[in-house]
Amino acid sequence: MKNNEIRDLIQHNIKNKSHFSDKAMPLFFLTMALISVLTTFGIVYTLVVDAFKFFANVPLSEVFSTRLQPLSANPSFGILPLLNGTILTTIIAMIVAVPVGMAAAIYLSQFASKKLRKMLKPILEILAGIPTIVYGFFAYSVVTPILMTLIPSLEPKNVLSPGLVMGIMIIPMVASLSEDAMNAVPSIMKDGATGLGSTKLETTFKVVIPAAISGIMSSIVLAISRAIGETMIVTIASGSSKRFTFDITQSMQTMTSYIVEFTSGDAGSGTVGYYSLYAVGLILFIFTLTMNLIAQYITKKYGERY
Amino acid sequence: MKDNNMDIVYDVKGLNLWYGDNQALKDINMKIEKNKITAIIGPSGCGKSTFVKTLNRMIENVDGVRTSGEILYYGDDIFTNKLKVEELRTRVGMVFQKPNPFPKSIYENVVYGPKIHGIKDKKLLMKITEESLRGAALWDEVKDRLNENAYSLSGGQQQRLCIARSMAVNPEVILMDEPTSALDPVATMKIEELMEDLKKDYTVVIVTHNMQQAARISDKTAFFLNGELIEFDVTSKIFGTPKDQRTEDYITGRFG
Ligand SMILES: Nc1ncnc2c1ncn2[C@@H]1O[C@H](COP(=O)(O)OP(=O)(O)OP(=O)(O)O)[C@@H](O)[C@H]1O
Ligand SMILES: [Mg+2]
């Protein structure tokens, strides 16, 4: 019987199949995963060690003060001006990036024709690939002058303009990742809602977005982390004023641009100013870590599993 | 102890299965005979799919599943690793309740199994494709479009493609979980006709909600209720003179 020839051949093949790669490959993957985890630990370790040298020399009351004058004869290392600069630019960026990015994602994934989506998505991805220094230059030499005509009191270096431009820079990321998440919602799930007479809009908000929430949340968190860590735009367009103020028309310094200023300047190794860089780096890291934890919590709480 | 009776494919002994704390199979004892069609019937949620998925250990992919008891496949306990799980699943094919073709061409779907099991000869692969698709009563409909994506087929055609895909590795047993619930009456009839032929080469275990189907095609029928095997006997006896009142109630449609 010919059928049994094939059966015998296949069974012969399974019996003699080498399971080397079935066993070796997972080990290889594990090694790679360990390498990435260990490097991360290494980086965090050096950050923590040198940051501690800073905290050993500077009292906490000074760290959490608003006076940042690292180079004065009587130096003071208050972090609040930097935190303030970082948080304000990030908030402005999110106010731009989240609504615009989400709306674009909803349009692309739910309403746009297949053809249009195929055209628009690569354009979004090109936008995401523009070097940040270009955005920084754009903020300083185009956006700030335009804003100055609207707000005469705006300083040439200010927080508003780089915040807005950073938002624009992040839109493609939010849009693209959220769009992927919404596209991944199985169509039978949408059919369930449309079959009950929901409009496309209702289906989008009641079924698709809840189902895709974990992907959407992670796109927003990535966006926030990106804004917190963004360096070039703020260094160029927001200046290096170490004032503590909530006035977004003024110049402020962010944590990242503080690091730029000091590493390109003359922070001698071993000085308190030098170790302050690690302290700022550590705080930046704690920020992004917290963001990730928040995202995980939200996903767990609101994510619908399917 | 080796069971040397080659006519018994599966010998299930004292099988219990839990999803977490919820017991879905209770002390199942059952012998499945070679080259016979065994039908499994019972109301929704009684554990039919669970039982069938246990036979090829697919159930282990579900988190929190625990089993006790043994299932002998030609005398070897499938839960010991004497028989590798991949080998078991090659020798015991499965067709699922919902069609689940791969997002590849019709041809690639059919030859997936033979290819991963080391068959490279193009001619042989083509021969397997034709035989399997004929076996699943799909050949005439797709012979001119083997390179089209499987998702361009209708739901019923997709299901027959999945049957063909499982036949392509020439398993000894085919497990089918409500394979015709997505098919129209004509396609269903084709599958049922094909069952008679399949019996020569395969042992078939089929879950069905369709009493007539079970009565028409199967040699033996097992009636499950709330995770228990209530009655297991020659099909004509189950449908003619059931011993258990609950079996009679179910097949006469008094509940379920
Ligand atoms: N993945 C799972 N996790 C937890 N419990 C499950 C899971 N799958 C099934 N069950 C439970 O096990 C029991 C048996 O389910 P099973 O799917 O085997 O029923 P069935 O007889 O195939 O039903 P149907 O005819 O509706 O397909 C049910 O009570 C079900 O709730
Ligand atoms: Mg089932």
Q: What pLDDT, in 10s, does the model give residues A118-162? A: 898 888 888 888 999 999 999 999 999 999 999 999 999 999 999
For A221-267, how does the pLDDT look when each residue is reduced to its tens digit (9 = 90+)?
889 989 998 989 999 999 888 889 899 999 999 999 999 988 877 66
DSSP-derived 3-state class of residue B203: strand
Q: Indicate the pairing of strand B8-19 with strand B65-73.
A: antiparallel
Instruction: Tell me which residue in A6, A7, A14 faces B86 most closely, judged by beta carbons.
Output: A14
Distance from residue B177's CA to the centre of ligand 2 (Å) = 7
Report CA Rg, chain A: 25
Query: Which residue does chain A place closest to B85, by CA atoms?
Result: A14
What is the number of the ligand 1 atom nearest to the C-alpha of B43?
A: 25
Minimal Cα–Cα distance from A9 to chain B, Å?
A: 8
Contact at 8 Å (CB) between B52 and B207? yes
In B4-46, where do the E strands start and end?
A: 8-19, 22-33, 37-41
Minimal Cα–Cα distance from A161 to chain B, Å?
A: 47
Distance from residue B44's CA to the centre of ligand 2 (Å) = 7
**How far apart (Å, rounded) are the C-alpha atoms in residues A190 and A196?**
10
Minimal Cα–Cα distance from A302 to chain B, Å?
A: 22
Token reading at B114: 């033979």
User: Is B135 an 8 Å CB contact of chain A?
Assistant: no
Segment A190-202 mean pLDDT: 85
Q: Using a CB-CB distance cutoff of 8 angstroms, which residues of chain A are in contact with residue B90?
A: 10-11, 14
Spatial CA neighbour of A88 closest among A262, A250, A284? A250
- Helices (H), ranges, chain A: 2-16, 20-57, 60-63, 80-106, 114-128, 132-138, 144-150, 160-183, 187-194, 200-203, 209-229, 232-237, 255-264, 272-302
The one-letter amino acid at B243: K
The one-letter amino acid at A185: V
Cβ pairs bridging A and B (under 8 Å): 37
- Least confident residue range of A5-19, A77-91, B7-21, B74-88: A5-19
Contact at 8 Å (CB) between B118 and B202? no
Contact at 8 Å (CB) between B129 and B146? yes
Q: Is the reported ipTM for this assembly greater than 0.85?
A: no
pLDDT band at A291 (very low <50, low <70, confident <90, very high): confident
Residue B218: the pLDDT is 95
pLDDT at A39 over 70: yes
- Cβ of residue B62 lying under 6 Å from some atom of ligand 1: yes
**How far apart (Å, rounded) are the C-alpha atoms in residues A291 and A228?**
10
Which residues are found with C-beta within 5 Å of the ion, ligand 2? B 49
Mark the ranges of chain B whose per-residue pLDDT is less than 70.
Answer: 1-5, 255-256
- Cβ of residue B45 lying under 6 Å from some atom of ligand 1: yes
Cα angle for residues B96, B61, B7 (degrees, 5° grid): 60
Are residues B170 and A10, on separate chains, in Cβ contact within 8 Å?
yes
- Cβ of residue B47 lying under 6 Å from some atom of ligand 1: yes
For chain A, the distance separating the N- and C-terminal CA atoms, rounded to the nearest angstrom, is 45
Neighbours of B248 (CB within 10 A): 16
What is the number of the ligand 1 atom nearest to the C-alpha of B97?
A: 27
Does the B8-251 domain belong in CATH 1.10.3080.10?
no
For B83-123, how does the pLDDT look when each residue is reduced to its tens digit (9 = 90+)?
888 889 999 999 888 888 898 899 999 999 999 888 999 99
Contact at 8 Å (CB) between A82 and A68? yes
